[in-house]
Structure 1
Amino acid sequence: MTEPIVRVYTRFAEVEAPPKSRVYADVAARVADDPRMLGFLAELPPQKWQPNLFFSAVQYLCGPVPDWPWFRTRFAERTDEIREVMLARRTQTNEPARCATLLPALAQLPQPLALLEVGASAGLCLQPDRYGYDYGRVTIPGPLTLRCHANDATPLPSRTPEVVWRAGLDLNPVDVTNADDCAWLEALIWPGEEERLPRLRAALELAKQDPPPVRRGDLRADFASLAREAPRDATLVVFHTAVLIYVREAAERVAFAESVRAAGAVWLANEASPVIPGVEIEDHPADFLLARDGRPLGWTDSHGTWINWL
C-alpha cells in the first residue's frame, strides 16, 4: 500500500530536490525508508502525499528543517498538528521570480495585456509590471529587482509590459494581508534556498499596496466565466506555473487547453513538459518548459533564476 508513496519520495530525493536542497533530498530519502512516516502518509488522500506539502507543514509549525534527526523528532512530537496542516493547506509556492522567465514571452505580445493566472496562490506572479529585472546584459528598474540568467537566444525586453487588467483563480486563494497565509508561503521555501525569503517578503509588501484579485475557483470549471470578464481591447493572456501537474487526468488538462483556445486567449504554460497538452519535446526532468499555445519557447528554472530560450 505504501509502494506508490515510496516512489514519490525516492524520485523527489533523487531528481527534484538535489539541485536545490540537500537537506530535503536527504529527508525525502529517509522518509521513503521509514515505516511510521509511510503509514502516516498512507492515511492521507493521495493528493496530500507530496513531499513539499509534508515538509512545509513541519516548517510552518516548527521552523526551518536543518536535518533528518530534527525532522524525525518534530514529526514524533507534533504528528496530529502536522496532519491538520496538510489536510487544510496546499502547496502554493508563489515565487515572484518566475515573472522573469515569463517576461520575454509577455513582451512579444500585442500590448496592452489582460493577465489571467490559474493556480495564482497569492497573485504575486500577476504583477510582472511592478517588478524590476536584471538579466545581466539588460536591466529594467523597479522597486524589487528579480535577477535571472538568460542565454543569448532569449529575446530580452527593454521595459515591463502594460497591464490593464489582472485576475487570478485558485482553489484556496492566499490573502496577502493575512499573517498566517504569508507564513505558509514562507514555509514553502526549501532549506538551502533561504535567499528567496527576502524576495518573497518584498513582493508581499508590494502586493499589499494593491492586492491582485484572486478568486476562489477550479480551472476545470470556473476558468471560462472569469475569462469573459477581461476587457476585449487588451490581449488576454492565460498563464500558469507548476499547476497542471496537480490536474491528474490527462483528459482534464486537454479540456482546459481547449477552453483557453475557445476564449481566444494567448496561453503561456510554464510546467514540467509532459503535463502540457500538445507538446512533443524530450523531457528535462528537473526543469520547466515555457510554451506558448503549445509551442515550446524555452527551458526555465522552476523558481525563475534562469531561462534558456530555444
Structure 2
Amino acid sequence: MAGHFYADGDIAELYRWFADETAGSSPTWRAVCTWVAETPVIAERLAALPGMKRQPQLFLAALRRLEAPLDPGPVLAAWLTARWADVERAILTHSTQTNEAGRCAVHLPLLAGLSAAGTLALVEVGSSAGLCLRPDAYAYRYRFPDRPERKVGEGTPEIECRIEGATPATADYALPTIAWRCGIDIAPLDPTDPEVQAWLRALVWPGQQQREVRLAQALDTVGRLPPVPVVTGDALGVLPEVVAEAHRHADTVVVMHTATLSYVSRERRADFGARVRDLGARWISCEAERVLPEVRDRLPDLSYAGPPCFVLALDGQPLARVGQHGGWIGWL
C-alpha cells in the first residue's frame, strides 16, 4: 500500500518510532525495536517484506506467537536466522487485529450519550473478533479525581478507567441500549477459535498481564453470547449497505472505529467522516492524532507532550485524549 509509513518508511526510522510508542508500556518491545533499528541485517529482512507487512506490530506478535527469546542480542539474532521462514509465514498469514476490550471504556460514554435519544445500531469498522461490539456485556469502574468512583454494568471483565477533565454534555457513564450490531472486517476472526485466541494473545505487549487477563475474560464472555454478524470486505466498499440495514433496526446508527484507519492509505481515509455523515450515521473515531487531519485540525492544543494516546472524536469534533488501550480519558 503506497502512501503509508508502514509500507514505504525506512525500517530503522519505523522501529525507532515504535520504540518510543512502547517505551512507557512495554520495556521489552522498546528494547527489541531499538535493537532492530540498530541491526542492519535484521532491518534488511524486514524491509524486504511486502507493503503493510513491514509494520512492527506484526513482527513483534510473530515473535511472541513462536515463543522467540525476547532479549535482543546474539541469541535473538541466531534464533531469527534459524526460524526466519516461520516468522515470515506468521507475518504474511496474519494481520494486526488487536481486539482490546479495554477500549470499550472510552467508547461507552459517547455511546451512552447517543443512546439517551433512543436505541442504537452499532457498526464497527475493523471489528476483528468482535470484542468491542459488546460494550454492554462488560462492567466498568470509572475513577474521578474529585468525586467517588462510578461502577457501570455487571459483566466480565470489569474494566477500569481513570477520568481527567470535565465530562462533556454529549457523554454519560451508563450502559447504552444497543438494538442491533454488525462488524466490518477484511478478515473477520472467530472468537471461539483457539488459534485466533492464541494470535490475539500474541498481539498483547509483553509485561501487560492485566490486558492478557482482560482479553481471556472478554473472549469467554463473547463466546457465550449469540454471534454478531460481520460483513467481510473493505470498509469503504461495504459501509453503505451495512449502514442502510442498520437504519432499519434502531433510532440512531453509530459507525465506530479504533486504531483502524491508521492501516488505510492517507488518500482513502481523508474523506471517511464525510462518507459516514452522508449515510446519515453518527461517527465515533478513536485514532492517533496524525491519522485524521479533520480531527487533528480541530484540537484546541497541538502541544501535547503526554504519553502516547488516541484522540476520541464525535462527528469529527475531538472530545478527549484517551489511553491507547482504554485506561484513561482526558476530556478536552
TM-score, length-scaled by structure 1 = 0.93
Match of residue 153 from structure 2: 141
After superposition, residues 233-252 of structure 1 pair within 5 angstroms as 233-249=250-266, 251-252=267-268
Change (3 A) 1:94 1:71: farther
TM-score, length-scaled by structure 2 = 0.88
1:121 aligns with 2:128: yes
Deviation at 1:66, TM superposition (A): 4.0
Match of residue 5 from structure 2: none
CA contact (8 A) 1:113 1:162 kept: yes
**Cα distance in 1, alignment partners of residues 177 and 28 from structure 2:** 41
**Cα distance in 2, alignment partners of residues 113 and 72 from structure 1:** 51
Change (3 A) 1:284 1:216: farther
Residue 269 of structure 1: which of 285, 289, 292 is its match? 285
Match of residue 105 from structure 2: 100
Residue 131 of structure 1: which of 115, 135, 138 is its match? 138
**Cα distance in 2, alignment partners of residues 7 and 34 from structure 1:** 12
1:214 aligns with 2:230: yes
Q: 3-state DSSP class of the match of 1:62?
A: coil
Match of residue 297 from structure 1: 319
**Cα distance in 2, alignment partners of residues 167 and 66 from structure 1:** 38
Residue 15 of structure 2: which of 9, 26, 31 is its match? 9
Change (3 A) 1:228 1:283: farther
Deviation at 1:192, TM superposition (A): 1.7
1:46 aligns with 2:51: yes
Match of residue 3 from structure 2: none
Deviation at 1:277, TM superposition (A): 4.2
**Cα distance in 2, alignment partners of residues 35 and 262 from structure 1:** 48
CA contact (8 A) 1:245 1:275 kept: yes
**Cα distance in 2, alignment partners of residues 52 and 95 from structure 1:** 14
Q: Which runs of 5+ in 1 are unaligned?
A: none
**Cα distance in 2, alignment partners of residues 190 and 61 from structure 1:** 14
Deviation at 1:276, TM superposition (A): 1.6
Number of residues of Structure 1 aligned to a counterpart in Structure 2: 306
**Cα distance in 2, alignment partners of residues 146 and 179 from structure 1:** 24
Residue 246 of structure 2: which of 204, 225, 230 is its match? 230
Deviation at 1:226, TM superposition (A): 1.3
CA RMSD, 1 decimal: 1.8
User: Which region of structure 1 is more displaced relative to structure 2, 77-86 or 271-280?
Assistant: 271-280
**Cα distance in 1, alignment partners of residues 276 and 56 from structure 2:** 31
Q: Which amino acid aligns with 1:119?
A: G
Q: Which runs of 5+ in 2 are unaligned?
A: 1-7, 144-148
Provide, for residues 75-110 of structure 1, a one-character-per-residue CA deviation record: whole Å limited to 9, x for no partner.
222110110110111111100010001111111112
Match of residue 205 from structure 1: 220
**Cα distance in 2, alignment partners of residues 284 and 20 from structure 1:** 18
